[in-house]
Amino acid sequence: MTKLLILSDSHNSTGAVERILHAESDATAVIFLGDGLRDLEEALTLYPKMKVYAVAGNCDFGALEPLDGLAAFDQVVVFYAHGHMYGVKFGLDTLTDAATARGAEVALFGHAHIPVAEQRGSVFLFNPGSCGRCYTGPNTYGVLPLDQGKIISHERKEVPHSWASNAYVKEHFEEFGPVGAVYTTNQTAGRGRLGRIWVNAEGKALYYTVAIREPLAQPATLPLLASLAVRNQLKLRYGVDCQIKWPNDLLLNGKKIVGILCESVSYGYEQQGRGILCGIGINLAQPQSYFDAADLPHGTSLALQGATVDLAADPQWLAEGLTDFGFDRPMYVFAREGFAPFREEYKAACVNIGRRVTFDLPGGGQGAGAAIDVDEEGRLVVRTDSGEEHVFTGEVSVHGIYGAV
């Protein structure tokens, strides 16, 4: 039997696509019907082995995907399109004729944001609704099981509910001012840097996301500013002196206590607005069993390192401090001048400097040498046998940190 997962019209709701792919990870294939190809691309970093068929919608500006497609699954021929080229908001005759002319038994489409499931002649028409912006009810997607040339059933499902601070901010980005933030202590969906798996710690961690619509001189260096912002607030609240592992991990006694993930955001009319969000996870009071179960041997929490943590008061105190003193006030300088004014403070806390590091090379493979500086563009400067390398992307391992040798 073949299980087709049908999604359409996510419209900047990456979190919804991620939750659907997680809930239906046993699907034989995913058919994405347009208007949200960026969401699909980001979500697939967590599920790279899923087989995907995708078409572009009228809001997928600059996409290279086709406007329609034809494929056979379990002896059933499926025609799929976003639908705007077939006038599906005004009637389904043109789409039905196009599917019939191609010998298709199923026609999948989106665009209308309204679920449809009906038989017209020899063609079964199916619109799963919008998984990000449904007009007639909850956001939905579709599942279509096929077996030996037959449609076994069709099902429209509501998008699973969960909460991730980054996903929420992304979906509500237009509602924020130049600098705004949300936080929670219970994040039921999330992801780590480079697509790593992320585990919730209900009530024992702070999950904070800041939205920045202010134009930035050096947006790529925001993670470095964020690491300083968190470091300063933790020092004020708990008296701890965290080190920064370039670019933005915070360490306490050699173990990771804070993770930071920044993402660019497109928003507004035809997605022409540009902004950036920065998600921050602070380990407040997770027990050692949490890190053991999550297979995080290099992780720790403030409580495990001896800090007195008040879970009733600290999350709000830290969130307000980060917003007011970590981002809002420094943004007046950072937006215009970039990383340079914060460089010396950052270098003083950077654990990489003076240590041997290995790093990913742009063309593949790895380089190694001694980290000697962080330049004004936020790049880690490494002295190698062949000269200096200025590293800005990829993974960097530091001798003596996280077990690296």
Asked whether the predicted pLDDT for residue 107 surpasses 90, the reply is yes
Superfamily the domain 165-349 falls into: Bira Bifunctional Protein; Domain 2 (3.30.930.10)
Instruction: For residue 33, give the 3-state DSSP assignment.
Output: coil
Helix/strand/coil for 109: strand
Residue 69 and residue 122: Cα distance in Å, rounded?
Answer: 18
Question: Can you give the residue ranges of every domain in the chain?
Answer: 2-158, 165-349, 356-398
Q: For the residues 81-85, what does the mean pLDDT come to?
A: 97
8 Å CB contact between 227 and 248? yes
Coil, helix or strand for 367? strand
Q: What would the pLDDT profile of 120-137 be if each residue is shown by its tens digit?
A: 999 999 999 999 887 778
Omega before residue 247 within 30° of 0, cis: yes
Which of residues 56 and 175 earns the better pLDDT score? 56
Assign domain 356-398 to its CATH architecture.
Roll (2.30)
> What stretches of 302-379 show up as alpha helix (H) in DSSP?
314-321, 329-337, 343-349
pLDDT tier, 164 (very low <50, low <70, confident <90, very high otherwise): low
Q: What is the mean pLDDT of residues 139-154?
A: 94
Q: What is the pLDDT of residue 193?
A: 46
Q: How many of the other CB atoms lie within 10 Å of CB of 108?
A: 30
d(CA 314, CA 237): 8
166-184 tens-digit pLDDT: 666 777 777 777 888 888 8
Report the SS3 class of residue 393: coil
Q: How far, in Å, CA of 210 to CA of 321, rounded?
A: 12
Q: How far apart are CA 170 and CA 268, in angstroms?
A: 11
Which residue is listed with tokens 């969130």? 319
What pLDDT band is residue 232 in, cutting at 50, 70 and 90? very high
Q: How large is the average pLDDT for residues 204-226?
A: 92
Separation of alpha carbons 216 and 152, rounded Å: 53
- Predicted confidence (pLDDT) per residue in 308-342, tens digit: 999 999 999 999 999 999 999 999 999 999 999 99
Average pLDDT over residues 230-254: 96
Q: Which of 323, 320, 17 is nearest to 160 (CA)?
A: 17
Decide: 6 and 141 in contact? Cβ < 8 Å: yes
The listed CATH number (1.10.600.10, 2.120.10.70, 3.60.21.10, 3.40.50.9100) that belongs to domain 2-158: 3.60.21.10
Tokens of 138: 């909850």
Torsion of CA 32, 36, 38, 42, to 10 degrees: -60
In the predicted structure, residue 243 carries a pLDDT above the cut 80: yes
